[in-house]
Structure 1
């Protein structure tokens, strides 16, 4: 995937990745004790991969919501409103009435997200 230089990337805190790596090494003695406990190692590996990959990418054309596996693309034409929910997470309300939570984007990140569209921010005084 080629991203433009104007693409804004939002990712989860990288401390999650560090914790997953520590959990992997902590699970090695458990997984090594019995062969049927080897799948225990998959949990920290999945968390590490999710922490590295999941998030939101935004450019002038679309939003890309990335998960552990796959991604969802939403064009800006479908977005009616960007807002913060009561928990401080950013959400996009779509033209069909659905509400989509934007992974790794907080309500305080909304100005940076809007700047990725190339549109000017509304004047707070007006």
Structure 2
């Protein structure tokens, strides 16, 4: 779905580029956005959770997570036992049922 929005951005930029060729430089923006759409994600498995950022990934075991924190309109942050926070891209309060299923119940489902 996010790639569809990037496609509409490309169409808008193409119309600007047709009128003013120096707008062609802005065509790098949809490329970067597409890379971010593909790259940013959280992969939850039975024993581990992997947070993939734009430049790096970090994998932690479920046992190393004390809890999850949510701010309005932002992604979840895992509170790690060593005191650090790990941002979980694309995990929101509304996606917790999927995270509960992927973690095999290690993350409680607040909707039940």
Question: TM-score with structure 1 length normalisation?
Answer: 0.67
Q: 1:35-114 to 2 correspondence within 5 Å? A: 37-87=23-73, 89-114=75-100
More strand by share: 1
User: How many residue pairs are counted as aligned between the two chains?
Assistant: 109
Measured after TM superposition, the shift of residue 97 of structure 1 is: 1.2
Q: Per chain length, whose mean CA-contact separation is higher, i.e. which structure has more relative contact order (CA < 8 Å, sep 6+)?
A: 1
- Please list every run of 5 or more consecutive structure 2 residues that lacks an aligned counterpart in the other structure: none
Distance in 2, Cα, partners of 1:23 & 1:122: 38
- Alignment-derived partner of residue 9 in structure 1: none
- Please list every run of 5 or more consecutive structure 1 residues that lacks an aligned counterpart in the other structure: 1-13
1:89–1:102 Cα contact (<8 Å) kept: yes
Q: CA RMSD in A?
A: 2.7
User: How big is each residue's C-alpha offset from its partner over 1:44-86, in whole Å with a ceiling of 9 and x where there is no partner?
Assistant: 1211222233221100121111234442222223211124334
Distance in 2, Cα, partners of 1:114 & 1:101: 17
Q: Give 3-state SS (helix, strand or coil) of 1:104's partner.
A: coil
1:88–1:107 Cα contact (<8 Å) kept: no
More helix by share: 2
Structure 1 residues 121, 29: closer, same or farther in 2, change over 3 A?
closer
2:51–2:86 Cα contact (<8 Å) kept: no
